Chains A and B, each alone.
Chain A
């Protein structure tokens, strides 16, 4: 174990995948000599060459569309979309083709394509550089959607995503790229069938507690942990669950926790309206009705475009808004 940051951990995971399987190739805008705008692919083109780490033309539909063809030819493309807001030119290829080809071919085709997307806000960027479009993709069957919140998960989950026979949308919380955490970047990652399905999609309890459950993923995990620390000073024991996966969602872990705490607050940066929290709240209402002491509350983005960065603090589910929801839930 040593201390590293999420960006470096994903870089190490990509390096391992490139070493392990020469069918793995990285493609995207500016991922070569520049190392990507967030430097996540730093040094990889130098070591693996421009045929394995490919600077593509500036065309997102082109990137995903050709990745589909490469996958059909036996390759495992790992595509980088430079920023969340630029995935939309590729939306058609992702939702109408990539997500559905296995189904349409009755399983004859598999689509081992990974789409890495730095996502989420809080970095003071201009428009289209801070969005959380996960709900739009979660509504499409055929995609797996995950988001590592820590360096350790960045390292293991990227390797599991690349080994997955299904397409994986790999959402990297860009505001957390430079956060430190423990990770063993020499460890062999379990790539067995279970690891690629259940393992990749299992939630993790990152802080146990008995009074209320906080559920979120990606950038929200750090916020939830801080909220739990603050609440602890006031004598409330909050349980914090990092979902790690948005499609599928590990409802078992959420239900087990709510059965114990009786209260649930869901946190994500995506807009609340029709967002991932709506799905979680509905399922919990269905399955944990008799355990609930309070309605499930959601904290997230508003029904506005992601605002200019001077206002993003008010838009994002920050510590104060999370604590406010916690207080409201505890008040029942």
Chain B
């Protein structure tokens, strides 16, 4: 019933209609609409994008290792998706609000989160762990597609507050939601598209089509390129090479300019690939072959950007070594932070069920604490 995947297969060129500004060898591709949007990126900006991708990957590999060592219960790797995440996130302004799914570690890095803050959830010591308002980056959502509606609602709030179309870059803002190809099948996601379109909401739908929803290929979710989902709802839609950090930056920037100006939602399909397992509990050898992974390895977003920086003379050995050093420092810090994270006392389980007092919760807390105390005594 499912067909082998063909999207972008067997070629280094982007499929027609897919925005690409950097080919897999790292050479600039001229594109009339989007090239101008990266023209003002100076050497430092380009180097920062590279740095963010490398730091994210090193951290991510460390988190995978932490899971293998029993320090984390689970980890969803972002391996291979750094270009889509870092490129798009760099287009955001601090005022824009991000609704991530659960794999957006590269976006978290660009938003300024200390990457270690992502770990308590996966170590099982708390369900969230960071204040969404601190970096305008919401906590991760594990129910597929649920957060697409939250993003649209947030965007409607922005709209009501009059924070769109003022022309004042310090005021205009938007919501950006990240989700996967599997999530496009959920009712919630489709309802989010309806609400966004009919309200002309300032929201950017950033779909990372990484080709697999656990073991199920994108072809099971859709018989047409997913970018058409957006246009089917009347939302301007664009497909971008998700392993091209510059193209992802450019299309997201254009979408945000639209949103900020009051022109409404945009749907972006970033075509990328999940190089690792879905999560550390997954076994990809059961459903996909090595050849497919190898094909995508050749399109690695980091190698591509490095080749570009090298060719442009923007990255010497000292710079690359410095990036490696920072990446390892971030990963090491996250590792020791993680090892120090301990379970909260039993009573903490009852915190924040409600904001105000609730007699049942208070009674059960007392009961649990008394039991714990008595049990400790008799031990």
Residues of A within 8 A of B (CB): 29-30, 32-35, 37, 50-51, 54-59, 61-62, 85-86, 88-89, 124-129, 273, 302-305, 307-312, 314-315, 320-321, 324
**CB neighbours of A125 from chain B (8 A):** 73-74, 124
Name, among A29, A57, A58, A129, the residue most crowded by chain B CB atoms within 10 Å (CB to CB). Answer: A58
B344 at the interface (CB under 8 A from A): yes
Q: List 9 A-B contacts (CB under 8 A).
A: A55-B220, A59-B185, A125-B73, A129-B142, A307-B349, A308-B120, A308-B124, A310-B125, A311-B348
> Total number of A-B contacts with CB less than 8 angstroms?
128
When the two chains form their complex, are residues A308 and B127 in contact, meaning their CB atoms are under 8 A apart? Answer: yes
Apart from A62-B185, A320-B375: 16 A-B pairs, beta carbons within 8 A: A33-B287, A58-B216, A62-B187, A89-B186, A124-B73, A124-B124, A126-B124, A128-B142, A129-B142, A302-B368, A304-B353, A308-B125, A308-B344, A311-B344, A312-B124, A314-B346
Which residues 271-315 in B have Cβ within 8 Å of A in the complex? Answer: 281, 283, 286-287
When the two chains form their complex, are residues B126 and A32 in contact, meaning their CB atoms are under 8 A apart? Answer: no
Cβ-closest 8 pairs across A and B? A309-B124, A310-B343, A58-B182, A34-B215, A57-B185, A314-B346, A59-B185, A307-B349
B221 at the interface (CB under 8 A from A): yes
What 0/1 pattern do residues 191 to 223 of B give for CB contact below 8 A with A?
000000000000000000000011110001100
When the two chains form their complex, are residues A311 and B346 in contact, meaning their CB atoms are under 8 A apart? Answer: yes
B14 at the interface (CB under 8 A from A): no
Task: Contacts A126-B74, A126-B122 given; indicate if A303 touches B372 (C-beta within 8 A).
Answer: no
Residues of B within 8 A of A (CB): 1-2, 73-74, 120-127, 142-145, 182-183, 185-188, 213-216, 220-221, 281, 283, 286-287, 342-344, 346, 348-350, 353, 358, 360-361, 364, 368, 371-372, 375
When the two chains form their complex, are residues B216 and A35 in contact, meaning their CB atoms are under 8 A apart? Answer: no
**CB neighbours of A124 from chain B (8 A):** 73, 124
**CB neighbours of A129 from chain B (8 A):** 142
Task: Contacts A310-B124, A310-B343 given; indicate if A34 touches B214 (C-beta within 8 A).
Answer: yes
Instruction: Report whether over half of chain A's contact residues are helix, strand or loop; otherwise say mixed.
Output: loop
**CB neighbours of B122 from chain A (8 A):** 126
Give CA–CA (A303, B124) in the complex, Å.
19
Give CA–CA (A184, B124) in the complex, Å.
38
Nearest chain A CB to B83 CB, angstrom units: 24
Task: Contacts A89-B143, A126-B142, A310-B123 given; indicate if A57 touches B220 (C-beta within 8 A).
Answer: yes
When the two chains form their complex, are residues B353 and A29 in contact, meaning their CB atoms are under 8 A apart? Answer: no
**Identity of the chain A residue whose Cβ is nearest the Cβ of B188 in the assembled complex:** A89
When the two chains form their complex, are residues A55 and B215 in contact, meaning their CB atoms are under 8 A apart? Answer: yes
Give CA–CA (A86, B188) in the complex, Å.
13
**Identity of the chain B residue whose Cβ is nearest the Cβ of A323 in the assembled complex:** B375
Nearest chain B CB to A88 CB, angstrom units: 8
When the two chains form their complex, are residues A315 and B349 in contact, meaning their CB atoms are under 8 A apart? Answer: yes
**CB neighbours of B188 from chain A (8 A):** 89
**Identity of the chain A residue whose Cβ is nearest the Cβ of B365 in the assembled complex:** A302
When the two chains form their complex, are residues A33 and B1 in contact, meaning their CB atoms are under 8 A apart? Answer: no
Give CA–CA (A203, B72) in the complex, Å.
39
When the two chains form their complex, are residues B215 and A32 in contact, meaning their CB atoms are under 8 A apart? Answer: yes
When the two chains form their complex, are residues B216 and A321 in contact, meaning their CB atoms are under 8 A apart? Answer: no
When the two chains form their complex, are residues A58 and B127 in contact, meaning their CB atoms are under 8 A apart? Answer: no
When the two chains form their complex, are residues B349 and A302 in contact, meaning their CB atoms are under 8 A apart? Answer: yes
Nearest chain A CB to B229 CB, angstrom units: 12
**Identity of the chain B residue whose Cβ is nearest the Cβ of A123 in the assembled complex:** B73
When the two chains form their complex, are residues A302 and B350 in contact, meaning their CB atoms are under 8 A apart? Answer: yes
Nearest chain B CB to A270 CB, angstrom units: 14
When the two chains form their complex, are residues B215 and A30 in contact, meaning their CB atoms are under 8 A apart? Answer: yes
Nearest chain A CB to B168 CB, angstrom units: 39
Name, among B2, B122, B221, B286, the residue most crowded by chain A CB atoms within 10 Å (CB to CB). Answer: B286
When the two chains form their complex, are residues B286 and A311 in contact, meaning their CB atoms are under 8 A apart? Answer: no
**CB neighbours of A314 from chain B (8 A):** 346, 349, 368, 372
Task: Contacts A126-B121, A320-B375 given; indicate if A311 touches B343 (C-beta within 8 A).
Answer: yes
When the two chains form their complex, are residues A58 and B183 in contact, meaning their CB atoms are under 8 A apart? Answer: yes
Name, among A29, A51, A85, the residue most crowded by chain B CB atoms within 10 Å (CB to CB). Answer: A29
Task: Contacts A302-B349, A311-B344, A311-B349 given; indicate if A34 touches B143 (C-beta within 8 A).
Answer: no
When the two chains form their complex, are residues A55 and B343 in contact, meaning their CB atoms are under 8 A apart? Answer: no
**Identity of the chain B residue whose Cβ is nearest the Cβ of A315 in the assembled complex:** B349
**CB neighbours of B74 from chain A (8 A):** 125-126
**CB neighbours of B283 from chain A (8 A):** 34
